[in-house]
Amino acid sequence: MIRKLQAVALDCADPVRLAEFYADLLGGRVIADPDEPDWVEVHGFEGTPLACQRVDGYQPPEWPGQERPQQLHLDFDVDDLDGEEKRALALGATVLERTDQIRPGANWRIYADPAGHPFCLCFH
């Protein structure tokens, strides 16, 4: 079974700026890895950590319109990536990318839920 919701990842143009905003808003702290400048996390508050992910050409969502809907994806910790993939597919998910098979050192795979929203299974 999925152990926990690992992070909520928000697409953006400037992950440091967005992470600083949420760290200030939530009373958390920014966790940045200099080797991964496109991914910055916010920890240290009650609840699931937030991650801010740089996306080239990012365009913010429009609210309440749907021309550019809200943009985020969910990351889930798993102990068995292959087993949880089988379970997710049986429940109606589709594979978008098996990142762990195409990027050395990657520990995640990307899927779409039945409505098309992306989420990741992350081996930890």
State whether 104 and 53 are in the same domain.
Answer: no
Which pLDDT value is given to residue 25? 87
How many domains does one find in the chain? 2
The answer to whether residues 44 and 71 belong to one domain is: no
Q: Are 68 and 60 in contact (CB under 8 A)?
A: yes
Rounded to 5°, angle at Cα 47 from 76 and 88: 20
Do 75 and 42 belong to one domain? Answer: no
Do 80 and 44 share a structural domain?
no
Task: Report the candidate in 37, 62, 32 with the shortest Cα–Cα distance to residue 49.
Answer: 32
Residue 1: inside a domain, yes or no?
Answer: no
Residue 34 is part of a domain; what is its CATH number?
A: 3.10.180.10
Instruction: Indicate the pairing of strand 72-78 with strand 118-123.
Output: parallel
Rounded CA-CA distance 13/28 in Å is 21
- What pLDDT sits at residue 74? 85
Query: Residues 82, 109: one domain?
Result: yes
What is the three-class DSSP state of 119? strand
pLDDT (tens digit, 0 to 9) for every residue of the chain, 124 residues total? 888 999 999 999 999 999 999 999 899 999 999 999 999 999 999 989 999 999 999 988 887 788 888 767 889 999 999 999 999 999 999 999 999 999 999 999 999 998 888 999 999 8
| Sequence-separated (6 or more) residues with CB below 8 Å from residue 21 | none
Q: How many CA atoms lie within 13 A of 119 on its CB side?
A: 24
Cα distance between residue 93 and residue 99, in whole Å: 16
41 and 71 share one domain: no
> Which residues form the domain of 115?
59-123
Tell me whether residue 119 is in a domain.
yes
For residue 2, is it within any domain? Answer: no
Residues 45 and 73 in one domain: no
Pairing, β 39-43 against β 108-112: unpaired
pLDDT of residue 37: 94
CA distance 114 to 51: 23
45 and 78 both lie in a single domain: no
